[in-house]
Structure 1
């Protein structure tokens, strides 16, 4: 079987990380994936060696790719223009819609009107996102299929196996709090800086690593505010980290007894949370949207009330001040939860069965 995934943005975020993992698994099952994007936001390297990638805004080229690709099914991720392209290409196979944007006003244009095509189904990555999509659509089945993580890649790494000589390096005596992802309004980097500012006034044994954001829309505002607030000593920024290095980033955080922090206003899923937990790193995050489906409060991490700066700080302190035995217990629980609920071999079979049912293919042995 051969499928095409269409999305506007080639980023290093959760959508593409999730599809990278699926494509690897699909190939093992005899399903070959290709990707079509219109805009590169620095994510091309994560697909290197995984699957063919088309990157173009030329509508004629896009229509030609669809028409000549001989695809058994096409998956469209939050890209309303794709319905026009599919119509022009006269694609008559099953079309799956993935609804991934967690903000109803931004999701609406992509799933309110599917003309000239009729989707076979809508796939969402969380129960929260199913509730959101159900507000905007009717008479189209909606299925929840969580993102999966490759637990042979994202796993606890210890000792000499960690890339200690590769940036970023841990400052002696510091506990590391990782903040990973785009720098934009929804990720709420301003709350991150408020948290860091207060912690800097109270302690000298914590530093923050901001990972990513090189091509984010608010990167310049973040950089300026970080300097204005004199936070460059406590908030270290690493705009470009290769995806292949991320397990080692998490390993360094875990080695210090730190955690990852999210300040997001909302997520349809949240790959960085399960990646961190798969590597044994507890998560501190707001208890909003899909996040309570991923992080078990007091077991694999801690959830704070949205916008409550002091509560977020309290949870950070609770983790970094744990004794070794309690920290290891939370770390092991995080790994176990991902292995049991979000490992690719647990999640991806649902998607492969969906594809085979829609395409009408005989099951592979």
Structure 2
């Protein structure tokens, strides 16, 4: 069976990384193809010929037609929906929804009716159901084998407290910088670490570097605009092994992939009680949205209280089970059965 995934951005992180995580197990069962509108380093992570860039409407239409897919999965990318129609609407259409932002508005303007809708959490199932969409199935995000490989973390002379995300309003990087500033000022020996921003606008990069240069507590901070995905499991392990943790300042999350990644690598997380995060984090890890003093207090406690650190990791076994690739594969196979249009997909 040919399954074609279509998404806007081939950027490390988020949906693109999720497609890469799925690939190994999914490709053992299905013939997988991936189309992007633009590439920022992800295409090369797939085997040759699996992923490609379709930068224009015409290229997207031609690529879908040439692929002759049995199933087309369009992920938060309306441009691929019109291309699928112009290509003759081949195969079953599955609409996969990850976004929680204003980008959801496209769902109220659909010119096509998908055979099925997929999302990544019970939170998102309820959110989409409230919009009158159906049928909806949950296929959780997954992590591939590299996340379970043993590493030997280096011993550092400092304790990292990390924030990982895009330099945008949704992830609230400015609030994150202020939070790291507060933690570092109150806790000697902490090195703030910000990871992300490789594709950020120049204005956001300038704002971040100005913040780092003008804050005394952030003077020792490190900013890594991009970390190769293969190195991310080791990064989380190094943070954890040196007594550190990660903090999140997001406004909403459909699943919370960076949170799940941290937990799988035994790295404690402090995060706001928003979106799907309460589905994967214990109560101890969750602060009221916008309560930065509470967030800082939890983070400082995680740096000094071993019992509290253990409590923060209490849901790690659940997250490992839920994010296992075989779990996602079984859920996706069930979706294909439900959305089948012909015996080819049955």
TM-score above 0.5, yes or no: yes
Partner of 2:103: 106
**How many Å separate the matches in 2 of 1:315 and 1:51?**
47
Partner of 1:149: 143
The alpha-carbon deviation at position 72 of structure 1 amounts to 0.8
Moved more, 199-208 or 185-194: 199-208
1:157–1:279 Cα contact (<8 Å) kept: no
Call closer, same or farther: CA 1:50–1:231 in 2, change over 3 Å: farther
Partner of 1:95: 93
What does the per-residue CA deviation read over 1:116-173, in whole Å, with 9 as the maximum and x for residues that have no partner? x3200111111221222223344x31112211222x3213745xx34x4xxxxx651x
Partner of 2:123: 128
What does the per-residue CA deviation read over 1:60-103, in whole Å, with 9 as the maximum and x for residues that have no partner? 22111111112110000111122211111002311000111112
Partner of 1:189: 173
Partner of 2:299: 316
1:3–1:74 Cα contact (<8 Å) kept: yes
The alpha-carbon deviation at position 337 of structure 1 amounts to 2.0
Call closer, same or farther: CA 1:265–1:125 in 2, change over 3 Å: same
The alpha-carbon deviation at position 273 of structure 1 amounts to 1.0
> Which runs of structure 2 are paired with 1:254-265 in the superposition (5 Å)?
254-265=240-251
Call closer, same or farther: CA 1:330–1:285 in 2, change over 3 Å: closer
**How many Å separate the matches in 1 of 2:298 and 2:311?**
16
Unaligned stretches of 5+ residues in structure 2:
none
The alpha-carbon deviation at position 268 of structure 1 amounts to 1.0
**How many Å separate the matches in 1 of 2:221 and 2:160?**
10
Unaligned stretches of 5+ residues in structure 1:
165-169
Verify: 1:177 aligned to 2:161, yes or no: yes
Partner of 1:216: 200
Q: What secondary structure does 1:35 align onto?
A: strand
> Which runs of structure 2 are paired with 1:341-352 in the superposition (5 Å)?
341-352=322-333
1:145–1:351 Cα contact (<8 Å) kept: yes
Q: What secondary structure does 2:117 align onto?
A: strand
2:196–2:226 Cα contact (<8 Å) kept: yes
Partner of 1:36: 35
Partner of 2:9: 9
**How many Å separate the matches in 2 of 1:363 and 1:136?**
28
Q: What secondary structure does 2:168 align onto?
A: coil
Partner of 1:202: 186
Equivalent of 1:68 in 49, 66, 69: 66
Call closer, same or farther: CA 1:137–1:113 in 2, change over 3 Å: farther
Q: What secondary structure does 2:146 align onto?
A: coil
Partner of 1:167: none
Compute the TM-score of the two structures, normalised by the length of structure 2.
0.91
Call closer, same or farther: CA 1:43–1:219 in 2, change over 3 Å: farther
